[in-house]
Structure formats: C-alpha cells, structure tokens
Amino acid sequence: MPAPPPSTAPSLTPARHKHTVIEDIFGLVAGVVVTSFALFLLRSTGAVTGGIAGLALAVEYWSGVSVSLLVVVLNVPFFAVALWQKGVRFTVRTLLAVGGLAVTTQFIGHVFTIDSINPVFGTLTGNLLAGLGMLMLFRHQASLGGVSITGLIIQERTGFKAGYTQLIFDACVVAISFVTLAPSMVALSILGAAVLNVVIVLNHRPDRYLGY
C-alpha cells in the first residue's frame, strides 16, 4: 500500500520567536514606567507592596530615606546571584530596569501629583500595575531584582511558581510594615500584595507564553 501523502494542514503549535531588540527595549521601558507609577500610587496611599520595592517603601516610611536609593541598595546582593545563576544578559537588563525604576520613581513625583486618593483604590490598583510591570520585565528576560530573581531561579529549577516565592517574601515584608503602618493599612497591603501575586501566578506561565 502506498504511503499517505504528507499532511498539508497547518500546525496547531505556534512557532517560538525571539523578541526583537526594539521589542525588548520597549518592553523594558514599559515595565519600568508602569511599575514606577504603581509605586507612586502606593506611596500616595501610604501602603506597602511585595518584593524589594515593597521593602524599600516600608523602610522609607520608617527612616525617611528615598525609596529610589533604597531600591538600588537593597538589590546589590541579588545582582551577584543573578550574574551567577542567570547570566550576563539577564543581569544587565535587571540592572537597567532597577536603575530605570529608581530614576523614574524620583522623577514622577515632580511631574504628577495627587491631592487625595481612596486608599482601597490606590492600594489595589497600585499592586495590580506593579504585577503587570513585573510581568512585562519577566517576559523580556529582566526583573526588578531581589526576590523576583530568586523566584525565577526556583521556578526554573523546581517548577515552583515564582509568584508563590514572591508571596512568601511579601508576607514577611507586610509583617515588617506593622512597625510603621496602622493595622487597617497593613490589612489593605496584604490584600494588595495578594492581587500582585495573583497577576504573576496566573500570567507568568512559560508553558503558555510563546515569546522569549
């Protein structure tokens, strides 16, 4: 019996394509800008969030040191981990993202002001935007340093979701915030951090996302 002719039906599995340089640049810039606006909303509300950015906010409330400086200083040990485990390209992109976040966060307060904001809206929207910003950076082989680097490494090595690692760290950050925040704001920050991590857990899925 002759062999059947080769199928001409299109493949149901889309091809994987690298991001172009322009796509990477735009993705990194967009991620930084969205995250800096998220931090601006959280600072205006007086809430904290997760990750090193959230820890920087908590320390700023307590010490008065600028969050722009803290987000760089607190990340220094994690840059070495990124270079060791993730390579030069990821580390350079993360350095650019963290530096860009520090500059943009400092700049945004001079071009945008909020006279009043509902704390629930500010906290939840700020965390939602922070999750989206981090997601943009993850998808362009970068991060905001800190626990996000650790979470990505753990996910790659074990399959344990990066969002779950982030959530564990965020619980510690929120616990620290009890020193400076009222209990009601701490509770709201917990809800906001959950929103951020749901965004990452549901959307940072290498098995679904085809760009790299």
pLDDT for res 33: 94
Calpha distance 15→3 (Å, rounded): 27
pLDDT for res 30: 94
Of 49, 25, 104, the C-alpha closest to 72 is 104
The per-residue pLDDT for range 54-109, each reduced to its tens digit, is 888 888 888 888 888 888 888 888 888 778 877 888 888 888 999 999 899 888 87
Calpha distance 25→20 (Å, rounded): 9
* Identity of the residue numbered 128: L
pLDDT for res 129: 94
Q: 163 and 203 in contact (C-beta within 8 Å)?
A: no
**Strand residues in 46-175 grouped as ranges (E):** none
pLDDT for res 132: 92
pTM (global) more than 0.85: no
Task: Read off the tokens for 106.
Answer: 């400092």
Calpha distance 19→148 (Å, rounded): 21
pLDDT for res 112: 79
Residues in the chain where the model's pLDDT stays below 50: 9-12
Q: 45 and 181 in contact (C-beta within 8 Å)?
A: no
> For the chain, how are helix, strand and coil distributed in percent, rounded to 5?
70, 0, 25
